Structure 1
Amino acid sequence: MRRTLIILLAALLAVAAASVGVYHWATLPTTLRIAVGPVGSEDTRLVVAAAQYLARERAATRLKIVLTEGLGASASAVDDGRADLAVVRSDVAMPARGQTVAVLHRNPALLITREGSSLTRVSDLRDRRIATTRSNPANERLLQAILDHYEIPRDAVALVPLGSSQEAAEALRDGRVDAIFAVGALTGRLLNEVVSAVSRATGTPPAFVPLPEAEAIAQRSPAYESFEVVRGAFGGTPPRPAEGFMTVSVAHLLVAHTETSDADVSEFTRLLFVMRPVLSGEVPLANRIEEPDTSKGSSLPVHPGAAGYYDGETLSFMERYGDWFYLVVMLAGLGGSAIAGLFGTAANRTRSRTMNLLKDLLAIVHDAREAQSEAALDGLDRAADEILVQALTRAGEGVLDETSLVAFQLGLDQARRAIAERRHWLEEHGTPLVRAAE
């Protein structure tokens, strides 16, 4: 019985431990590695702010930042399996094993000149000098795509790399360059710095060269998109620009490895849009986070986990882990049934042994009435003593209940009485064998 109770307790503890283990495993925060770079870029600032938010809020998903040298290296980190997520650019080495999660921001390409300049159309760029504020091969390729569309030879345009927005604005003011080519987010630092620097240097709002054929350029190269810069996009009085215009843009995307769990990507996508309002207070660029094109004809395939969130098909906690809990409950039920069966079997064995002892007492009563000698009665007396010892041992172990003890008491009294009566009878009448001899 004691062994059965120990087994029962151990089984219950095992089931409880398994349930706690499953719950703990299911609720552990998921850590996703995200590749971003270079250090100091606006994308890096945005990702760092997101990682800090998730850690501060003890979210179910956390970020481990993998710093890279740039967008191309971040894409390689996904293909190499060194990162689960990465920030990439639509025209720079899109990862072969990556799928889109969200559009972090779209960066329009702007040709900025001074007010009153004779440079009003892209075709006017021939034999002009264009300043670039940062040496970026991807931006130079984008400019080349624009020039190619308008059939302007590359050697017909001189690129003048300059170190800062202020230096480029001063070069524009002094006539050393005819325009500034810049690519960045409307709410990012680069474009706003360039526009403000030109306004300060020239004393007038800058002028912008439109790309009316932006849609045609985007159709020829899926890496680019047409983009409308609305009137007053850069603020100011009078508004900058004075009129809206079209240009081309590139997208900075958050992508996930194709083998990253759909559930993990779906949960992170949800958290991304939950924390967007908070992040925008620290990094205004967060306001530009948006849903990608989830249509089947999209040139940028969307990760199934992110698509599930956008389509409203995100699995709940119980839908995701319910099978595990049901399995634990089922195993607990089977274990409980098995334990109950063992307990019942042990109880039956205990009752069977108790009944055998009572039967032995009854047999002593019967044998005492038929005993033919003192020696036989002495043997029955010793057998009764042994049964008494077994009964007391069982009672000490808690096996015998009060009813069984009463039954044993009655049985022992009856056995003792039968032995005493037979012994008295033999003393008065002698043994049957002795009488026969006389």
Structure 2
Amino acid sequence: MASGVDAAPAAPTEPPNGPGPRFSARRSTALVVLAGILAIVGMVSAGYYFAVRTVVLRIAVGPANSDDLRVVQALSQAFATAHSQIRLRPIQTDGATASAQMIANDKADLAIVRGDLSVPKNAQAVATLRKNAAVLWVPAPMKSKKSAAKITKISQLAGHRIGVVGRTPANIDLLKVILQQYGIDPDKVDIVQFPITDAVDAIRSQKADAYLAAGPVNSKITSEAVAASTHDGKAPTFLKIDSAEAIAQNHPMYEASEIPAGAFGGSPDRPEEEVKTISFSHHIVARKDLSDSTVAAFTRQLFAIRQAVMTEFPLAAKIETPDTDKDAFVPVHPGAAAFVDGEEKTFLDRYSDIIWWSLMGLSAMGSIGAWFAGYFKKDDRSNTSGRRERLLDMIAVARHSESAEELDRLQAEADDILRETLRTFEEGGIAEGALTSFNIALGQFHQAVADRRAALINLAQSLQRAGSALRVTGT
């Protein structure tokens, strides 16, 4: 009888429970955590990019050659030179009314508008560009011409011709408001408008009995017009608007104001004493839907750079912070209000919610990853348990094996089981305690195989000796 001890081992067999999971629990968890970290980094990076990126704002301003346009152009150049986050792109219009319409139609982000005109509902104040005072005066009489009845009060303007400096209809509306306050029917007054470039010549030619100009108190246009009304060393007569408070109460777009003595220079002083009047503002407005952070950044840069612009363009000194009162005629933009009130949000303030939710998302991803890890570990534990049970079954088979070839097959299968179990352990699929119990079962299997192999060898030797004895006896 040939012994099977020296026979070649059979090819390894597939573990009874099949190969382990395609991806280990540890690897799956690492991938989930890495994906979560990358997502957080991406969101934070995107938030930072949008917080510091250069933003170009379209600002509507006009008319051509106006002080407003020159101020905006100077600011635009200053922003660009300073490499500010906010940049300006001026859009020239025919005037404040056209600029307001650009905002209403969402064709501009910012605009310069007159406060006494209809301000679009989607516009909110960012800054006061300048304040304009209404100046009413009567030229000094000329000796060479017969003087008409002297006008010293607004109530005496009925039946006279009033010249309005500038072509904008808003100045005529301003004059009508003043006349109506004093009970004068505007139809009883002859109103004529003069272009800014023709105003001085018209005044010198005495084409009207009284004049109205609206602009900053130190406006060059108004100063030249007042100077042209001075004759023979006599200053013009300035008409006081004593009912300025009443006008401001009835028309919230106006404010009671004063023209300081000597505001227009000359000798004698023009005017010789303080004159009560009404004023209105030119506003820088922004679209309501423009983000608070963008408007706050623009407002901060505007007032930071104003000082530098003043040296080249003195009118920039007139820029003031907006009225933040809740009952302001032109409501303030929340972004501008945050800057004025010192409540401008930092990067963390603006994006803390996003960061918080991102961290919550990362935590959720970690929980999901842990669940998947547990799921895969469950499969690994199940496979390990199945391999251990198979080893226990193989112990019984080995103890009753009838050949060395069968023991070799069992040994090869045990080697494959050991290989898969160690791989699963290295990948975190099973705990050390489970590996210990597996080692005990594996040790018992090896012992059973060794015992059975020795028994088979002894049995073969016994049979060989018995056969030899029978042959000797027969001889």
TM-score by length of 2: 0.71
Q: Helix, strand or coil for the counterpart of 2:311?
A: helix
Provide the residue aligned with 2:95 in structure 1.
Answer: 70
Once the 2 structures are TM-superposed, how far is the Cα of residue 335 of structure 1 from its aligned partner?
A: 1.1
User: How far, CA to CA, are the matches of 2:371 and 2:234 in structure 1?
Assistant: 89
The reply on whether 1:145 has 2:177 as its aligned counterpart is: yes
The reply on whether 1:79 has 2:104 as its aligned counterpart is: yes
Provide the residue aligned with 1:9 in structure 2.
Answer: 34
Once the 2 structures are TM-superposed, how far is the Cα of residue 247 of structure 1 from its aligned partner?
A: 2.1
CA contact (8 A) 2:377 2:430 kept: no
Once the 2 structures are TM-superposed, how far is the Cα of residue 330 of structure 1 from its aligned partner?
A: 0.8
- Uncovered stretches (5+) of structure 2, i.e. residues with no partner: 1-23, 143-149, 465-469, 471-475
CA contact (8 A) 1:68 1:74 kept: yes
User: How far, CA to CA, are the matches of 2:121 and 2:442 in structure 1?
Assistant: 89
Given the alignment, which residue of 40, 53, 59 partners 2:65? 40
User: How far, CA to CA, are the matches of 1:192 and 1:386 in structure 2?
Assistant: 104
Once the 2 structures are TM-superposed, how far is the Cα of residue 188 of structure 1 from its aligned partner?
A: 3.9
Taking a change above 3 Å as real, the CA distance of residues 36 and 368 of structure 1, as seen in their structure-2 partners, is same
Given the alignment, which residue of 238, 257, 261 partners 1:209? 238
Once the 2 structures are TM-superposed, how far is the Cα of residue 209 of structure 1 from its aligned partner?
A: 1.0
Given the alignment, which residue of 251, 258, 263 partners 1:228? 258
- Please give the residue correspondences for 1:154-233 in structure 2 after superposition, counting only pairs within 5 Å: 161-164=193-196, 168-173=199-204, 175=206, 178-195=209-226, 206-215=235-244, 216-233=246-263
Provide the residue aligned with 1:318 in structure 2.
Answer: 348
CA contact (8 A) 1:99 1:257 kept: yes
Once the 2 structures are TM-superposed, how far is the Cα of residue 352 of structure 1 from its aligned partner?
A: 5.9
CA contact (8 A) 2:125 2:331 kept: yes
Given the alignment, which residue of 101, 110, 116 partners 2:135? 110
Q: Helix, strand or coil for the counterpart of 1:105?
A: strand
The reply on whether 1:248 has 2:278 as its aligned counterpart is: yes
Once the 2 structures are TM-superposed, how far is the Cα of residue 70 of structure 1 from its aligned partner?
A: 1.8
Residue 75 of structure 1 aligns to which amino acid in structure 2?
A
Once the 2 structures are TM-superposed, how far is the Cα of residue 80 of structure 1 from its aligned partner?
A: 3.1
Once the 2 structures are TM-superposed, how far is the Cα of residue 354 of structure 1 from its aligned partner?
A: 5.3
RCO higher in structure (CA 8 A, sep ≥6)? 2
User: How far, CA to CA, are the matches of 1:203 and 1:358 in structure 2?
Assistant: 122
Q: Per-residue displacement from partner, 1:324-378 (whole Å, max 9, x unpaired)?
A: 1100011112212322443455456546645655665565455434433344324
Once the 2 structures are TM-superposed, how far is the Cα of residue 79 of structure 1 from its aligned partner?
A: 3.1
Provide the residue aligned with 1:49 in structure 2.
Answer: 74
Once the 2 structures are TM-superposed, how far is the Cα of residue 232 of structure 1 from its aligned partner?
A: 3.2
Q: Per-residue displacement from partner, 1:136-156 (whole Å, max 9, x unpaired)?
A: 222223234334444556577
- Please give the residue correspondences for 1:92-131 in structure 2 after superposition, counting only pairs within 5 Å: 92-112=117-137, 120-123=152-155, 125=157, 130-131=162-163
User: How far, CA to CA, are the matches of 2:424 and 2:370 in structure 1?
Assistant: 22
Q: Helix, strand or coil for the counterpart of 1:323?
A: helix
User: How far, CA to CA, are the matches of 1:379 and 1:96 in structure 2?
Assistant: 89
Q: Quote the sequence identity (%).
A: 37
Provide the residue aligned with 2:14 in structure 1.
Answer: none
Taking a change above 3 Å as real, the CA distance of residues 324 and 198 of structure 1, as seen in their structure-2 partners, is same
CA RMSD of aligned residues (A): 4.6
User: Mean Cα displacement is larger for which, 235-244 or 35-44?
Assistant: 235-244
Residue 428 of structure 1 aligns to which amino acid in structure 2?
N
TM-score by length of 1: 0.76
CA contact (8 A) 1:113 1:206 kept: no
CA contact (8 A) 1:113 1:172 kept: no
User: How far, CA to CA, are the matches of 2:189 and 2:215 in structure 1?
Assistant: 22
